[in-house]
Amino acid sequence: MENIKELEKKYIINTYGRDPEVTPLFVKGQGSNLWDEQGNSYLDLVSGLAVNILGHCPKVVVDALQEQSKKLFHCSNLFYTEPQVQLAQLLVENSSLDQVFFCNSGAEANEAAIKLARKYAKLFVDEDRFEIITALKSFHGRTMATITATGQPKFHQGFEPMVPGFKYAPFNDLEAFASLVGDQTCAILVEPVQGEGGVHVGTVKFIQGLRNLCDEKKLLLIFDEVQCGIGRTGKFLASEHYGVQPDITTLAKGLGGGVPIGAMMAVQEVARGFNPGDHATTFGGNPLACAAAIAVLKTILENDFLVYVKRNSEYFVQELEQLKKKLPSLIKEIRASGMMVAVEIEGDSRGREVMKECLKKGLVINCIGGNVLRFLPPLNVTASELRFALDVLEGVLKKLK
């Protein structure tokens, strides 16, 4: 197995900078737990970056995949398939959007949203509109258009020239967004809760203000719910916290419970912007991925599931606030929406050290921007698992002193 780390260095293009000294090699996952090749177990509070929302290898998804894999994996979008239509119906019936385009990732979902916004504006609003305003510290993906949409210069460096037609304003600053709207603006694209940028929760005033601004200026409001959607914040979609209905919503990460799938949803009026031939993908909406997503959604949307998420996330955040009171010189701020949780620690760069120490004690957490610890637990994590994580974190932080 040591060999795997050597082979990785040789055969995998180095985009992830894995450190063989400290990066585990995981061979198995079940529920909230992962096991490395030596049989050590870990509590996983990253969930494959908000992907494994029902934990690892959940029975409902395993069963759905097994069943579907005996019938039909893939046959292209030249033909009708049942799981694709059923999944679309489930998504539509549980949201304010009317129609769905399926793809394979978050970046692809946002790419589809950007194309639809431009096409809709050209066809139905004003030929000259193409500009999209996004937020600073946002994250929308790694394709050329979506890194351009991403309001963080570090993702642009070395890839210039960027795609024309994007402007950036500070998140939660409604006036700054309003001041950027011009004759060429066609849409505003934001994450209601920013993920990669450090878990920044949109204020009600800001998100509702964006809706009003868009109505007033005939712009489309696009919500990137790739990370915050599918129950992550304690509601099925984060937009529900704000009582705001966007024109387009993008989904991916948690949607397939670990199986790659993305979706771009639009209201009927806006969906008219796409006609046959305007957009397509070979794999998008394939029966295998859709069968997995149907199993995930049915679980998430069951009676008390989201109540459970809300209760557990409140417990977790309360306990973190307690820890902050105990360690005021170490913890700067707790930010959270449901099971999207960040602990910002003092100092610019101690986050990675904390992450590594937690790993040694059997706890997988994530670190962004040097000093932000991010927790994205599986939504069915138990209170006692969260207790274990809190105890490990407290021990590690105390040793930092």
Ligand X SMILES: *Cc1c(COP(=O)(O)O)cnc(C)c1O
Q: Among 3-11, 136-144, 294-302, 317-325, which window interacts with ligand X (CB under 6 A)?
A: 136-144
CB 51 within 8 A of CB 253: yes
**Min dist. Cβ of residue 222 to ligand X (A):** 11
Comparing CB distances to ligand X, the nearer of 118 and 140 is 140
Tell me: does residue 224 bind ligand X (CB under 6 A).
yes
Question: Which residue's CB atom is positioned nearest to ligand X?
Answer: 106
Q: What character string, x for contact with ligand X (CB under 6 A) and - otherwise, covers 336-375?
A: ----------------------------------------
Q: Among 59-67, 224-232, 278-286, 392-400, which window interacts with ligand X (CB under 6 A)?
A: 224-232
Q: Among 18-26, 103-111, 267-275, 317-325, which window interacts with ligand X (CB under 6 A)?
A: 103-111
CB 140 within 8 A of CB 134: yes
Q: What character string, x for contact with ligand X (CB under 6 A) and - otherwise, covers 250-289?
A: --xx------------------------------------
- Can you read off the two tokens belonging to residue 39? 């049989």
Tell me: does residue 140 bind ligand X (CB under 6 A).
yes
Tell me: does residue 200 bind ligand X (CB under 6 A).
no
What span, in angstroms and rounded, lies between the C-alpha atoms of 149 and 145? 6
Site size toward ligand X (CB under 6 A) is: 15
Tell me: does residue 111 bind ligand X (CB under 6 A).
no
Out of 53, 226, 248, 294, which residue is the one contacting ligand X (CB under 6 A)? 226
What span, in angstroms and rounded, lies between the C-alpha atoms of 65 and 71? 10
Comparing CB distances to ligand X, the nearer of 141 and 351 is 141
Tell me: does residue 231 bind ligand X (CB under 6 A).
no
Q: Quick check: bond before 24 cis, omega within 30?
A: no
Out of 101, 120, 130, 139, which residue is the one contacting ligand X (CB under 6 A)? 139
Pairing state of beta strands 248-251 and 262-266?
antiparallel
**Min dist. Cβ of residue 3 to ligand X (A):** 29
CB 344 within 8 A of CB 335: yes
**Min dist. Cβ of residue 183 to ligand X (A):** 28
Out of 103, 107, 201, 334, which residue is the one contacting ligand X (CB under 6 A)? 107
DSSP character for 374? E
Angle between helices 287-300 and 305-326 (to 10 degrees): 70
Comparing CB distances to ligand X, the nearer of 290 and 330 is 290
Neighbours of 122 (CB within 10 A): 15
Out of 227, 281, 299, 371, which residue is the one contacting ligand X (CB under 6 A)? 227
Q: What is the DSSP string of 188-207?
A: EEE-SEESTTT-EEPPHHHH
**Min dist. Cβ of residue 227 to ligand X (A):** 3
CB 6 within 8 A of CB 17: no
Comparing CB distances to ligand X, the nearer of 44 and 191 is 191
First to last CA, the chain: 36
Q: Where are the alpha helices (DSSP H) in 282-331?
A: 287-300, 305-326
Angle between helices 351-360 and 383-400 (to 10 degrees): 120
Tell me: does residue 191 bind ligand X (CB under 6 A).
yes
- Can you read off the two tokens belonging to residue 169? 């304003």
In 3D, which of 197, 114, 111 has the Cα closest to residue 152? 197
| Helix-then-strand count for the chain, H and E | 13, 17
Q: What character string, x for contact with ligand X (CB under 6 A) and - otherwise, covers 287-326?
A: ----------------------------------------
Out of 47, 84, 95, 105, which residue is the one contacting ligand X (CB under 6 A)? 105
Phi, psi angles (nearest 5°) of residue 189: -120, 120
Residue given tokens 């920013």 in the structure block? 194
Chain residues binding ligand X by CB under 6 A are 105-107, 110, 139-141, 191, 195-196, 224, 226-227, 252-253
